Chains A and B, each alone.
Chain A
């Protein structure tokens, strides 16, 4: 992929994101925030690649730390969102 192709993807994703996210109601903004947060843990992929192919010890150590931090972000974020949304669906059934 060239830089321009990556940039194209970036710009298109920004438009799609804007269109969808502006439609999310206020009530769901807190779960959205923690869910979006979890998605930002996609950085984990980068960490996985680096920790895996680390040809030097220092790169492996850095990669390991990155994997730990990104995993906290992903797992924690999705779980927190899930708990919150679960409560919403309970409330909604009453």
Chain B
């Protein structure tokens, strides 16, 4: 059962896997600097290429046609998705890719079980248990990711399932999956001395139960928390790959899968910290959605909102020495990043010290806003992180907030009972003046009003982000030329 180069000693295959593993690690190391990151991505994909090619050449491939067709179909779909995606839709695409990785792991484990059965070999406890784990994690990842991607894309709504019923269903199906897994591992004597074939269906029962579990895990979680869920599922898909590595006794699967597991887990923790929420709270709590703060909202806003115009904001821009722009997802949805980038360029040319203040969870993924701005050719060194920019607001003449809401809400610092209490926010109110560009006074993801809008030094520029920013660009050009 060996392929073209399969006659060579096994240590050569193992050595190649080691090289691939090193390439993955070096690729990640290069991601620690924007300058070397592109190279890192190439190194990592080189590792993948090496590992795949050596595997194909090594093992006897009974059906090169089937294999080639699979690679071609998958490759074509992957290229098509990657080329057509909008930067704003990146999170749901990453979620979707994630799901496919998990799904593949579950299928591989199943196919391996069937293969063992077909070849008449005995099924070891190790193989059976790792297959069961890969099946559960893979199926949960697949369905959970599909739901998460659907929510981010707006095709799956938030759920009507009550919390108690939801928890009941989750426990029921998790138990079902675990029991089915135990049956596969232990194969108790209830069918007499049944061959493995009689036990294979229990693997598919396990996959079915885990699939339902995956759906019910994600359905009750609010749309705002989807990035955390996707990072967590990313981690799961890595762990599923690592587990498959245990099943197939394949070292590079273990190394690569573990790296992904670690990266997903770290990103999950970072996102939870940026929102000052525990993982348990994200998975089982959820931010308040609805109108419970509606009266409060009138109290805060009534008679205290200063509406402004592009002319007035341009006047502030003309006298400003330092301007900070705080972008939010609203800016990205309106595709206003190009107008914003042009505005920054103009300010820069006129000798104004201008920077972006970027909240870690602005956008829909950690670092998503940076990717959106990079797309509009914003210089990398103008993007400042929260800890860096916060101390500078007191020396800032004008802050322009566009399409952001919760990330600049002072309630996080002042109101202990607020759902966003303790979440690190951009303290824009410390600046001389603040211009907030927003379509209306409607609350953001967290569903709470924002006292920033009612502050004396805040003026509101109502309207679509793209139109408003273009208006600012045009008027500023006229004023300064």
> Which residues of A are interface residues toward B (Cβ below 8 A)?
1, 3, 6, 9-10, 13-14, 16-18, 20-56, 58-60, 62-92, 94
Majority-rule SS of A interface residues: helix
Residue of B nearest to A17 (CB): B262
The interface residues of chain B lying within 8 Å CB-to-CB of A34 are: 90, 93-94, 97
Majority-rule SS of B interface residues: helix
- Are B231 and A52 in contact, CB atoms less than 8 angstroms apart? no
Question: Which of A32, A43, A82, A86 interacts with B267 by CB under 8 Å?
Answer: A32
The interface residues of chain B lying within 8 Å CB-to-CB of A28 are: 31-32, 34, 37, 367, 370
Of A35, A76, A78, A80, the most chain B CB neighbours within 10 A belong to: A76
Cα separation A10 to B262 with both chains bound (whole Å): 11
- Are A76 and B67 in contact, CB atoms less than 8 angstroms apart? no
Count residues on chain B whose CB falls below 8 Å from chain A CBs. 114
Contact A41-B101, Cβ < 8 Å, known A53-B59, A67-B71, A79-B79: yes
Give 1 or 0 for each of B58-92: 1 = CB within 8 Å of chain A CB. 01111100110111011101110111010100100
Sample of 11 more A-B contacts, CB < 8 Å, known A53-B60, A75-B75: A6-B249, A14-B262, A17-B28, A28-B370, A29-B366, A29-B367, A30-B365, A32-B267, A56-B115, A59-B118, A76-B81
- Are A37 and B237 in contact, CB atoms less than 8 angstroms apart? yes
The interface residues of chain A lying within 8 Å CB-to-CB of B81 are: 72, 76
In whole Å, how far is A41's beta carbon from the nearest beta carbon of chain B? Answer: 5
Question: Which of A25, A35, A69 interacts with B74 by CB under 8 Å?
Answer: A69
Cα separation A58 to B114 with both chains bound (whole Å): 8
- Are A27 and B115 in contact, CB atoms less than 8 angstroms apart? no
- Are A46 and B366 in contact, CB atoms less than 8 angstroms apart? no
Question: Interface-forming stretch among B164-172, B374-382, B439-447?
Answer: B374-382
Q: What are the 9 A-B residue pairs with the smallest beta carbon separation, nearest first? A: A71-B74, A17-B262, A67-B70, A29-B367, A75-B78, A76-B78, A79-B82, A13-B258, A29-B366
- Are B259 and A17 in contact, CB atoms less than 8 angstroms apart? yes
In whole Å, how far is B462's beta carbon from the nearest beta carbon of chain A? Answer: 30
- Are A45 and B250 in contact, CB atoms less than 8 angstroms apart? yes
- Are B107 and A60 in contact, CB atoms less than 8 angstroms apart? no
Contact A43-B262, Cβ < 8 Å, known A26-B360, A51-B67, A66-B107: no
- Are B75 and A71 in contact, CB atoms less than 8 angstroms apart? yes
Question: Which of B1, B103, B366, B373 interacts with A33 by CB under 8 Å?
Answer: B366
Contact A85-B368, Cβ < 8 Å, known A40-B234, A66-B111: no
A-B contact pairs, 28 of them (CB 8 A): A13-B259, A17-B258, A21-B266, A23-B32, A26-B366, A30-B366, A30-B370, A31-B37, A31-B41, A39-B238, A39-B260, A41-B100, A50-B108, A53-B59, A54-B111, A55-B118, A64-B69, A65-B104, A66-B108, A67-B70, A67-B74, A71-B73, A73-B98, A75-B78, A76-B77, A78-B45, A78-B48, A88-B370
Q: Is B417 an interface residue (CB 8 A)?
A: no
- Are B251 and A9 in contact, CB atoms less than 8 angstroms apart? yes
Contact A40-B367, Cβ < 8 Å, known A80-B90, A80-B93: no
Cα separation A62 to B48 with both chains bound (whole Å): 22
Q: Is B261 an interface residue (CB 8 A)?
A: yes
- Are B101 and A70 in contact, CB atoms less than 8 angstroms apart? yes
- Are B104 and A73 in contact, CB atoms less than 8 angstroms apart? yes
- Are B48 and A76 in contact, CB atoms less than 8 angstroms apart? no
Contact A55-B119, Cβ < 8 Å, known A16-B25, A45-B55: yes
The interface residues of chain B lying within 8 Å CB-to-CB of A26 are: 270, 358, 360, 366-367, 370, 385
Q: Is B24 an interface residue (CB 8 A)?
A: yes
Contact A69-B266, Cβ < 8 Å, known A41-B48, A56-B114: no
In whole Å, how far is A57's beta carbon from the nearest beta carbon of chain B? Answer: 10
- Are A39 and B107 in contact, CB atoms less than 8 angstroms apart? no
Question: Which of B25, B60, B251, B263 interacts with A52 by CB under 8 Å?
Answer: B60
Q: Is B223 an interface residue (CB 8 A)?
A: no
